[in-house]
Structure formats: C-alpha cells, structure tokens
Amino acid sequence: MGNDRIKRREFIGKATLGLCSTGLAIPFLKSNAFTSEQSQKIIYRTLGRTKLRIPVVSFGVMNSDSPDLIKRALDMGINHLDTAYLYLRGNSERVIGEVLQKNGNRDKIYVATKMRFARDREKHFFTTRGTEREPGASEENLFKQLEISLQRLRTDYIDILYLHSCYSPQMVTYEPLMNALVKTKKQGKARFIGVSTHFSEPEVIRAAVDAGVYDVVLTAYNFAQNHRDEVKKAIKYAVSKGVGVVAMKTQGGRSLQEKGEIEINHEAALKWVLEDENVCTTIPGVTTFDQLDQNIRVMNNLALSGTERSEIQFASSLKGKIYCQNCRSCIPTCPNNAEIPNLMRAFMYAKAYGNYVQAGMTAAELPRKKGLYVCRSCSSCTASCPNGINIGSRVKTLIDEKLYLG
Ligand code: SF4
Ligand code: SF4
C-alpha cells in the first residue's frame, strides 16, 4: 500500500551514467558500485509551493570540497546541492561555484545555502553582538554574507536561502532578519526562503509556517529522536500549508564507532525518513564516491526490508544513546553550565562525519567559559545525560583531538 502511494505520487526518472562525458578524476574510477551499462533510478518529489522537482536523496555538501564528486552527482540526476556560508570555511560554496560555472546549466541545478548570525544560546534568541564567525543579527550583515556567498557560488541568485539553525519560534520571526530575507526574494537574489532547525524542531517548523513568508523548512528528522512523532506532525502541518520540507541529520548519529555504540544502517535510516511522504528530500553529507553510490542506491527501492526495519527498531530502542537530542537537560548537571549539546554536535561532526573542520569550528565558536577550555580544567566530568550519552568520554575525545583550538 505504502509503495503504491509512492509510485502514484512520485515521478521516477532515469539517469544513465555518462562516464565518458564527465571527465572524472581517479577517485571516481575507484567506485565500482555502478557500471556504464547500468541505469540508475532517481525518484523525485515536489518541494511544496516552490514546485522544484528534487530527488528524494540530495547532496549535502557540508563535508566535501571535491568538484569531481559534485559533477558525478549532477550527472546522476542529483540536482539539489545543500551548503552553508560556514561550511568548510567557505570552501563548500567555492567548490559548488566552480562546478556551476563549468557545468553551464545553472537553471537546472538547485542550490541551497544558509546564513548564520550570532545568538544568545541561553535565551534562544539572536543578538546584534557578533563575532567573526557569527556576525551580529542585522539586515546589513545578512546582505554582506549573501554577497560573499553569491561570489563564492559564482551565481547571481540562490535557489533556497535559509536562516541557519533557529532554536526557537522567536528566532524564526525576528523581524530584521525575516524582513531582510523577504527583501532578497523581491530583489531576485533568492528564489525561495526558509529556516533550518535542529532544536525545538516542532515549534520552529510551526512558527515558520505561520510566519507566512517562508517557502521551505530544513529540519533534523530521524528514527533516534525522542520527539520524532512531534516532528512528523509538524512536518505534516507544513506540507498542508504548502511549505516544502527537507530533512537533515537523517542518520540519527550515524556510525560513531565508539565502544558499546552501534553502527547505523545508513540506507535504512534514510528510508525510515523517506517513508514519510511529506518529506521532499534528504541531504546526507557525501565525501566519497562510494557514499554517493550508496545514497543513490536507496532510490532503487524506498521500502524498508524486514531486516532493515528490525535494525532501525533496535537502534531507536537505544533511545538517545547514540544521538544527542539537543534537549539541554545535561547543562544543569555541569558545574560550569557548559554548552554540552554543542560539544556533542562537534563530536558528531568529528566522529560520525569525519569532518574535523566543522567540528573544530563548532567547538571554537563557544564562549571560553562554556566550551572545551572550561572542560580542560575539570579533573573529571560530572555532567550526566538522561538519554545515556557518555558526556565525559565524548568531551575527553574532543580535548584529546585538540578541537578547542578550532
Ligand atoms: S547530551 Fe543528553 S542531556 Fe545533553 S542535550 Fe544531548 S541528549 Fe540532552
Ligand atoms: S568536563 Fe563535564 S563537568 Fe566539566 S565543564 Fe565539561 S561538561 Fe561540565
């Protein structure tokens, strides 16, 4: 029944590998999952009122600066690239720009990027007091960031421009930034605007929908979220109002490869999210050709097999053990009120995604009294997580990796 619905609602395209035309470099030749004789099924869904037709598995360009990898994805029919102003210190946008210019098919490629601004983490609100990494929240700074992104991306418009990482409904409707985003649309610098969230997602999604100006929401959504049913309901609400939904953090922590932790079945985790037909697309980060092939393989059959479903059920029964819920319950258990959820996010970037640049940036952006510098002065970690995450062990890993240096 579920599969029949998928078939009715989705356009299934075919993308044949154009091996000869891509000019791909040596890493591509190492990938052997598909051959030139095979054609690969790409399943597209429509992104709400934007009407953009996007594959259900898109390309998260958070961890990659390989033009060959992006070119290969485009050749396969992956026409949606998700990046952010901050990713890889701007190199993610730069590499996309290089590919866009060489590709020459700008109107066939949908580029999403995100603008991030200083926030007061305790008040869950923006602040105008900025830093180099997080400029103060103002219209002027939004347009400055946007101009830099446009230059890096070698384009004169963004397809989806997000307000990055909103923690609260108040951040979504913060007028200086919301009105500036609306202005970018009127000026033709952004075709569509949206918000991204991986904290209080249900409330943030509903606020974005009710604001009436946003076209897209990008939300954390996975089997390991304690509040996944609430996220699902909010997603349904968004779609009922014409707002397109993109899902991120779909792996629920992915493989953390620490003692006692399990390796998540990547394809099953993606399928779990895509069973929800209100989700238009997912943006798993891709760093290798094998990962790209694996993502594309998911589109061969979106239905979870019995084994995959059991694996996901088992992983979700571990509750938050593998995935930091960003619930902030641990903060009062730390004598220094350290920003533990952000430290856990840095850990995930490093150990789950292998992205030490993003991990270092995430750890280094925290105030010294709330980040790894204060942890270094602790003889032993006393913070505890009701979901079972071993905070002390993860903090020690971050310190050992010297991620407090950024
Ligand atoms: S470490 Fe645990 S308590 Fe702290 S935010 Fe994450 S899930 Fe919540
Ligand atoms: S090591 Fe643990 S207890 Fe100490 S500051 Fe860091 S999180 Fe808090």
**Residue 252 and residue 288 in one domain:** yes
**Residue 297 domain-assigned?**
yes
**Residue 258 and residue 374 in one domain:** no
Predicted confidence band at 351 (pLDDT cuts at 50, 70, 90)? Answer: confident
Predicted confidence band at 262 (pLDDT cuts at 50, 70, 90)? Answer: low
Interval 200-211 mean pLDDT: 97
Interval 238-256 mean pLDDT: 86
Interval 340-353 mean pLDDT: 88
**Residue 392 and residue 296 in one domain:** no
**Residue 220 and residue 150 in one domain:** yes
User: 138 vs 25, which has greater pLDDT?
Assistant: 138
Interval 310-322 mean pLDDT: 77
User: What is the distance in A from the centroid of ligand 2 to the CA of 316?
Assistant: 27
Interval 73-78 mean pLDDT: 96
**Residue 167 domain-assigned?**
yes
Percent of the chain with pLDDT over 90: 64
* Nearest ligand atom owner, CA of 225: 1
338 in ligand 2 pocket by Cβ < 6 Å? yes
**Residue 126 domain-assigned?**
yes
- pLDDT tens for 142-153 read 999 999 999 999
**Residue 306 and residue 336 in one domain:** no
**Residue 121 and residue 182 in one domain:** yes
**Residue 219 domain-assigned?**
yes
- pLDDT tens for 18-56 read 333 332 222 333 344 444 445 688 999 999 999 999 999
**Tokens encoding 343:** 């430290």
**Residue 318 domain-assigned?**
no
99-128 burial, b if ≥16 CB within 10 A, otherwise e? bbeeeeeeeebbbbbbbbbbbebeebebee
Q: Which of 284, 313, 342 is the last residue of a domain?
A: 313
Q: Pairing relation of β-strands 216-220 and 125-126? A: unpaired
344 in ligand 2 pocket by Cβ < 6 Å? no
Atom of ligand 1 at shortest range from CA of 341: 5
Interval 153-160 mean pLDDT: 98
Q: Which of 313, 348, 379 is the last residue of a domain?
A: 313
At residue 165, does pLDDT exceed 80? yes
Backbone angles phi, psi at 118, to 5 degrees: -60, 145
Q: What is the pLDDT of residue 7?
A: 34
At residue 215, does pLDDT exceed 90? yes
**Mean predicted lDDT score pLDDT of the chain:** 86
398 in ligand 2 pocket by Cβ < 6 Å? no
**Residue 182 and residue 305 in one domain:** yes
Q: What is the pLDDT of residue 182?
A: 98
β-pair partners for 42:
13
User: Which one-letter amino acid corresponds to residue 165?
Assistant: S
Q: What is the pLDDT of residue 321?
A: 65
Q: What is the pLDDT of residue 254?
A: 55
**Residue 272 and residue 345 in one domain:** no
- CATH number for the domain harbouring residue 91: 3.20.20.100
Interval 352-362 mean pLDDT: 82
**Tokens encoding 256:** 């953390």
Backbone angles phi, psi at 352, to 5 degrees: -90, -40
**Residue 323 domain-assigned?**
no
Number of domains the chain contains: 2
User: What is the distance in A from the centroid of ligand 1 to the CA of 385?
Assistant: 5
**Residue 366 and residue 262 in one domain:** no
User: 24 vs 387, which has greater pLDDT?
Assistant: 387
Predicted confidence band at 257 (pLDDT cuts at 50, 70, 90)? Answer: very low
Q: What is the pLDDT of residue 13?
A: 38
At residue 309, does pLDDT exceed 50? yes
**Residue 309 and residue 335 in one domain:** no
**Residue 324 domain-assigned?**
no
Percent of the chain with pLDDT over 70: 86
- pLDDT tens for 82-121 read 999 999 889 999 999 999 999 989 999 999 999 999 888 7
> How many Cβ atoms are within 10 Å of 130's Cβ, its own excluded?
16
**Residue 380 domain-assigned?**
yes
Interval 190-218 mean pLDDT: 97
**Residue 206 and residue 156 in one domain:** yes
Contact 372, 405 (CB under 8 A): no
| Residue range of the domain that includes 247 | 2-313
**Residue 280 and residue 367 in one domain:** no
At residue 210, does pLDDT exceed 60? yes
For ligand 2, atom 3, which residue shows the shortest CA distance? Answer: 381
Interval 228-253 mean pLDDT: 95
